[in-house]
């Protein structure tokens, strides 16, 4: 598979962010505002490229990502890392990228993505190794000194992330559904692979 159309990318993105749901062709079409026929063609193309796999349950067919293959994992990483941010959110992203030195992954989420300057705070989920917690907290404090808005960081180790996804923690699932992956998409894809 050489490239993805915007609709194909939207299907992959939706399946990744909503991995815990059973997604039929009609349900996907409705949620993504696509025609059922177009969604069927997209899913068949993704299935032939071994990106998604169908699961039959009675008379229905549900689709989920096939993350057992490295090619599909890389594609999902790429799709998750593509995001459109407002100018205000892009400024926040640039400041938060300082955390990459010590943190494995970061997702920007919350009102900063929807309200821009009217947001009261900046929320980020940071995935890190326990040994790097002090360094990351120091960098967060340094970034906070430059900001007029409160920076709320939610810290998770890769194991915490896996556990929360496995337990279907509503907060973490909500962040994954609506947040924008700033870096470390591979960490989230690996967590999805182990939890789905």
In 49-69, which positions are buried (b, 16+ CB within 10 angstroms) versus exposed (e)? bebbbeeeeeeeebbbbbbee
Q: How confident is the model at residue 134 (pLDDT cuts 50, 70, 90)?
A: very high
Tally of CB atoms within 10 A around 14: 17
CA distances from 148 to 36, 120, 139, 145 (A): 46, 10, 16, 8
pLDDT category, 141, cuts 50, 70, 90? very high
SS3 103: coil
Q: Lowest mean pLDDT: which of 1-5, 7-11, 86-90, 102-106? A: 1-5
Q: What is the pLDDT of residue 161?
A: 95
Q: What is the mean pLDDT of residues 48-75?
A: 91
Average pLDDT of the chain?
92
Q: What are phi and psi of 156, to 5 degrees?
A: -140, 140
pLDDT tens by residue, 94-120? 999 999 999 999 999 999 998 888 888
Residue that has been written with the tokens 């907290």 in this structure: 137
Measured distance CA(170)–CA(106) in Å, rounded: 18
What SS3 state is found at 110? coil
- Mean pLDDT for 189-193 is 93
pLDDT at 2 over 70: no
- Which pLDDT value is given to residue 103? 96
Whether the pLDDT of residue 140 is over 60: the answer is: yes
Quote the DSSP letter at residue 21: S
Give start and end residues of each alpha helix (H) in the chain: 6-17, 25-32, 36-48, 70-81, 87-96, 133-146, 158-166, 170-178, 185-195
CA distance 71 to 68: 9
CA-based R_g, the chain, Å: 18
Average pLDDT over residues 166-173: 94
pLDDT at residue 116 in the model = 81
Query: What's the predicted TM-score (pTM) here?
Result: 0.88
84: helix, coil or strand? coil
d(CA 55, CA 24): 9
- The rounded Cα 94 to chain-centroid distance in angstroms is 18
């Amino acid at each position: 598979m050489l490239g993805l159309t915007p609709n194909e990318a939207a299907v992959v993105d939706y399946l990744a962010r909503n991995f815990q749901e059973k997604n039929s062709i009609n349900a996907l079409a409705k949620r993504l505002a696509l025609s059922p026929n177009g969604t069927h063609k997209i899913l068949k193309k993704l299935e032939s490229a071994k990106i998604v796999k169908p699961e039959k349950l009675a008379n229905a067919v549900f689709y989920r990502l096939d993350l057992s293959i490295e090619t599909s994992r890389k594609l999902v990483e790429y799709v998750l890392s593509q995001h459109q941010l407002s100018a205000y959110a892009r400024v926040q992203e640039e400041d938060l990228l300082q955390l990459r030195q010590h943190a494995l992954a970061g997702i920007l989420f919350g009102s900063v993505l929807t309200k821009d300057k009217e947001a009261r705070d900046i929320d980020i989920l940071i995935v890190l190794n326990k040994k790097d917690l002090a360094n990351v907290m120091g960098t967060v404090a340094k970034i906070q000194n430059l900001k007029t808005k409160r920076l709320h960081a939610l810290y998770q180790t890769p194991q915490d992330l896996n556990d929360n996804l496995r337990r279907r923690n509503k907060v973490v699932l909500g962040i994954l559904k609506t947040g924008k992956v700033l870096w470390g998409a591979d960490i989230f894809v690996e967590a999805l692979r182990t939890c789905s």
